[in-house]
């Protein structure tokens, strides 16, 4: 009877260990994906800010230039 219970316990521990290893691997993969996603979002936000700043500077520069006079004449 002791041999049977030891065998059952060993099987249970083996299955638990395998499940735990899979869970840890899955958690690691998820955390890596989260890190990549956060880095992508941060980069996108930084690039968006730079683009909007550039567009605002270009609009300000365009507004500061005097409007070019239209030519009036014969065709």
The domain spans of the chain are 1-61
Per residue of the chain (75 residues), what is the pLDDT tens digit? 578 889 999 999 999 999 999 999 999 999 999 999 999 999 999 999 999 999 999 999 988 887 666 776 666
| 8-state DSSP, 75 | -
Question: Looking at residue 64, what is its pLDDT?
Answer: 86
For the chain, helix, strand, coil in percent to 5 are 85, 0, 15
pTM of the model: 0.58
pLDDT at 4: 86
Question: How many Å apart are CA 7 and CA 1, to the nearest integer?
Answer: 10
């Amino acid at each position: 009877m002791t041999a049977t219970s030891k065998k059952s316990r060993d099987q249970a521990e083996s299955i638990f260990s395998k499940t735990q290893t899979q869970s840890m691997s899955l958690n690691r993969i998820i955390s890596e994906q989260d890190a990549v996603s956060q880095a992508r979002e941060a980069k996108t936000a930084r690039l968006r800010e730079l683009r909007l700043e550039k567009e605002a500077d270009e609009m300000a520069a365009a507004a500061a230039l005097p409007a070019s006079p239209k030519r009036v004449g014969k065709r």
